[in-house]
Amino acid sequence: MKFFIDSADLKELRDLADTGLVDGVTTNPSLIAKSGRNMLDVIKEICAVVTGPVSAEVTATDHATMLAEGRKLAKLAPNVAVKVPLTPDGLKTCKALSNEGTKVNVTLCFSAAQAILAAKAGAAFISPFVGRLDDVGTDGMALIADICRIYAAYPAIKTEVLVASVRHPIHVVEAAKLGAHVATLPPNVLRQMYNHPLTDKGLAAFLADWQKTGQSILG
C-alpha cells in the first residue's frame, strides 16, 4: 500500500518525507487556505519535496473552467495530479484531462456507483471518504471493499483506490487488508502508526540492560 500525506504544511511534509515512507501528497482548498499562502506557490513547493503524485484540486464547478484550471495546475510540475469532484462536470473534466495524459484524482466519492463512473472516465485515483461515511452511521470500509471487488473484476480498470478521510490507524489497516492501493493520511495518523506500548516497554528494557554492560558500540 502507498501512503500519501493529506496536508499542505511544508514543514510537516518535509519532516515526513525524510522518513522515506511518503509516496505522494493530497491537498484541497481547505488545506491550502490554512497555509495562508498562494495556492500555486504551495503546490510547486510540495512537488519539489516529494517525487510521487501531488493532488491539486480545481475550485470551479463548471466543466470549461475546471478544464482550464486543471490544465494550469498540471503545468506546475510533472507530478501534479489534478483533483476534480465527482460531479457530471468533474467527470467530463476527468475524461478530457486523462485523454491529454494528466493524472486525475476524482474526489468526494461516497458510493460504488460513483466509483464505477470515475473509472469509466479514466481517473488515475478514486478517493472514497471513509471517515465522513462513518460520521453519518455508514460503514466506510464496506465501500472500500465494494470498490476493490468491482475494480478487481475488470483487469482493464487501472484506477487506484485512494482511501481518504482517514481518521485513525485502524482505517489504514482495514483498507490494506481489503487491497486498497493508497491511503492518504493526516500527519498525526502516520505518526500514530509507529506507536505501541509494548515497543516502548521492550526498548526501555533493552537499553537498561545495555547500560549495565558499560559498553559502547562506537567505542
User: Running DSSP on this structure, what letter comes out for residue 72?
Assistant: H
Helix/strand/coil for 132: helix
d(CA 49, CA 121): 29
Q: Check 2, 44, 72, 83 and give the catalytic one.
A: 83
Annotation marks residue 212 as catalytic: no
Task: Check: CB of residue 182 under 8 Å from CB of residue 174.
Answer: no
Of all helices (H) and strands (E), which one includes residue 84? strand 80-85
The per-residue DSSP string of 33-49 comes to: HHHTS-HHHHHHHHHHH
Q: List, in order, residues 6 or more apart from 21 with CB less than 8 Å away.
A: 3, 190
SS3 category, 67 = helix
* Number of other residues whose CB lies within 10 A of the CB of residue 62: 12
Beta strands in the chain (DSSP E): 2-6, 24-26, 54-57, 80-85, 104-109, 125-128, 160-163, 182-185
**Residues carrying an active site annotation:** 83
